[in-house]
Amino acid sequence: MKKTVSLLLLLFLFTTITACTGQTDKDQASKEKQTNLTISAAASLKDALTDLQHTYEKKHPDVNLHFNFGASGTLQQQISQGAPVDLFFSAAQDKFEALVKDGSIEKKEGTDIVGNDLVLIVPKGPESGIRSFSDLTNNSVKKISIGTPEAVPAGQYALESFKNMKVWREVKPKLVYAKDVRQVLSYVETGNVDAGVVYRTDALVSKKVKIAASADPESHSPIVYPLGVIKDSKHKGEAQKFYTFLKSDSSVKTLEKYGFKKIN
């Protein structure tokens, strides 16, 4: 009787271990079949792309999306230097065109997706007296943040606007440069600066700032977000599918929900 019980116990343990091992092997095989896509994208796209990520991964469980958010100029340099990236979603055409020129992106595998507006923001709370870009020249305004123009498109647009609005000379000594638009937003939210220049989409995601003024679109270069597949992507097929998804009408509508502008 004891031998029978022992044999049954051993059989049960063997069956359990085999089943667990088989499941582990299946899980491992499933993981190995998954594709990991890396997308380098402008910091201003973070909220909208995080939303779209959930939608896409739900429909494509075999794909994992990894986003590298930052200043478009910095991301462009990383890609030029060989960073393993599958798609580039830029906040400026010149950064995108630089990759087309050096052969990292084929022009036919890129397209303009959406646009944006440039705005002046201030912390919510007591009236600051800043209601226009010209108010930035007031002596009461000590610090103004913009993205570093060489790397951050929004910073370059801000620089162009300051010059075209004839306030550059007075504003220049007050500037506090940031690594990307989200850092500018953070500086304004925390009150470390009196004002900042970001995209409208950045201002809309924060409850701690308010828009004081919008820059005249004629005062700076057009704000356009191009998207393209990296030529040396190791997952070209899946990258193309995600590229097609991002330029679809439903994705553009999601981007519009976050304040981006559809390009006609």
Q: Which residues are annotated as a binding site for molybdate?
A: 44, 72, 154, 181, 199
The predicted structure's pLDDT at residue 198:
98
Q: Is the dihedral of CA 98, 168, 222, 148 positive or negative?
A: positive
Question: Do 118-219 and 35-115+223-262 have the same topology in CATH?
Answer: yes
In this structure, what token pair is assigned to residue 217?
């679109």
The predicted structure's pLDDT at residue 11:
52
pTM for this prediction: 0.83
pLDDT beneath 50, residues of the chain = 5, 7-8, 10, 24-31
The predicted structure's pLDDT at residue 126:
86
Q: Considering only the top CATH level, what class is 35-115+223-262? A: alpha beta
| Count of beta carbons in the 10 Å neighbourhood of residue 263 | 13
HSE toward the beta carbon, residue 165, CA cutoff 13 A: 24
For the chain, give every domain's residue range. 35-115+223-262, 118-219
Q: Considering only the top CATH level, what class is 118-219? A: alpha beta
Q: Which residues are annotated as a binding site?
A: 44, 72, 154, 181, 199
The predicted structure's pLDDT at residue 31:
47
The predicted structure's pLDDT at residue 260:
97
The predicted structure's pLDDT at residue 153:
96
